[in-house]
């Protein structure tokens, strides 16, 4: 197999293909949204998830102080808004208004969920690890919900497309479900 060298600065793109998420947080009654490609499950019991946020992001400051965040899973229909939320900062104003998304009360936290998203994980911050120019926020999931039509035991990707980030302004969508017997 012929292989070519990839710049280390783009090495993450080889494993970038989990779903892109929109993470909501809140400061002084003003909610914010950040687009994140770098997210992962970490533990079943307790249910822990990890999100990696650049130290300069407004969401970094908010979540560090509020100690909570919500992972919202966007369907393909929200692709443009996903990209917008990842290119403007909540420091410049209300991102919900700017991108026309709807904040809705969450079950357990102060931060809102995004009504147009199809899945939600409400998380309390358990740990924060310094990882280079980012921080890894470990969240304990305290409530979860998903659209009945699109999730039974897992995502119904025959009915809904999730978005994955390839890098830069390139994305891919989830394809065909395959079951191993």
**Which residue bears the tokens 């970094």?**
60
Q: What single string gives the DSSP state of each residue in 29-60?
A: TEEEEEEES-EEEEETTTTEEEEEEETTSHHH
Query: Which one of 57, 81, 120, 161 is in contact with ligand FMN (CB under 6 A)?
Result: 57
Query: Which one of 12, 89, 145, 174 is in contact with ligand FMN (CB under 6 A)?
Result: 89
Q: What single string gives the DSSP state of each residue in 102-158?
A: -EE--SSSSSPEETT-SEEEEEEEEEEEEETTEEEEEEEEEEEEE-TTTBSSSB-TT
Whether the CB-CB separation of 117 and 130 falls below 8 Å is answered with no
Query: Which one of 26, 38, 119, 141 is in contact with ligand FMN (CB under 6 A)?
Result: 38
Instruction: Give φ, ψ of 96 to 5 degrees.
Output: -55, -45
Query: Which one of 24, 31, 50, 53 is in contact with ligand FMN (CB under 6 A)?
Result: 53
Q: How far is the CB of 90 from ligand FMN (least distance, A)?
A: 3
Q: How far is the CB of 33 from ligand FMN (least distance, A)?
A: 7
Separate counts of helices (H) and strands (E) for the chain: 3, 11
Q: How far is the CB of 153 from ligand FMN (least distance, A)?
A: 27
Query: Which one of 26, 31, 37, 120 is in contact with ligand FMN (CB under 6 A)?
Result: 37
Residues 117-176 contacting ligand FMN, CB under 6 A: 134, 165
Q: Is 90 in the site for ligand FMN (CB under 6 A)?
A: yes
Nearer to ligand FMN, 57 or 120 (CB): 57
- Segment contacting ligand FMN by CB under 6 A, of 34-42, 104-112, 114-122, 140-148: 34-42
Per-residue x/- marks for ligand FMN, 8-27, CB under 6 A?
A: ------------x-------
Whether the CB-CB separation of 141 and 69 falls below 8 Å is answered with no
Helix (H, G, I), strand (E, B) or coil at 22: strand
Instruction: Give φ, ψ of 100 to 5 degrees.
Output: 60, 60
- Taking CB atoms, the residue at the shortest distance from ligand FMN is 86
**Would you tell me which residues interact with ligand FMN (CB under 6 A)?**
20, 32, 34-38, 52-54, 57-59, 83, 86-91, 134, 165
């Amino acid at each position: 197999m012929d292989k070519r060298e990839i710049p280390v600065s783009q090495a993450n793109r080889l494993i970038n293909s989990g779903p892109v998420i929109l993470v909501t947080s809140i400061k002084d009654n003003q909610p914010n949204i950040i687009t994140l490609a770098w997210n992962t499950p970490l533990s079943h019991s307790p249910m822990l998830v990890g999100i990696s946020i650049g130290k300069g992001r407004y969401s970094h400051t908010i979540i560090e102080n509020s100690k909570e965040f919500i992972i919202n899973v966007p369907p393909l229909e929200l692709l443009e808004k996903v990209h917008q939320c990842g290119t403007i900062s909540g420091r410049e104003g209300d991102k919900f208004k700017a991108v026309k998304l709807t904040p809705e009360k969450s079950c357990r936290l102060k931060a809102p969920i995004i009504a147009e998203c199809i899945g939600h994980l409400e998380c309390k911050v358990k740990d924060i690890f310094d990882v280079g120019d980012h921080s890894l926020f470990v969240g304990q999931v305290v409530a979860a919900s998903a659209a009945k039509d699109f999730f039974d035991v897992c995502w119904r990707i025959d009915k809904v497309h999730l978005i994955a980030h390839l890098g830069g302004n390139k994305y891919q969508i989830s394809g065909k479900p395959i079951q191993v017997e």
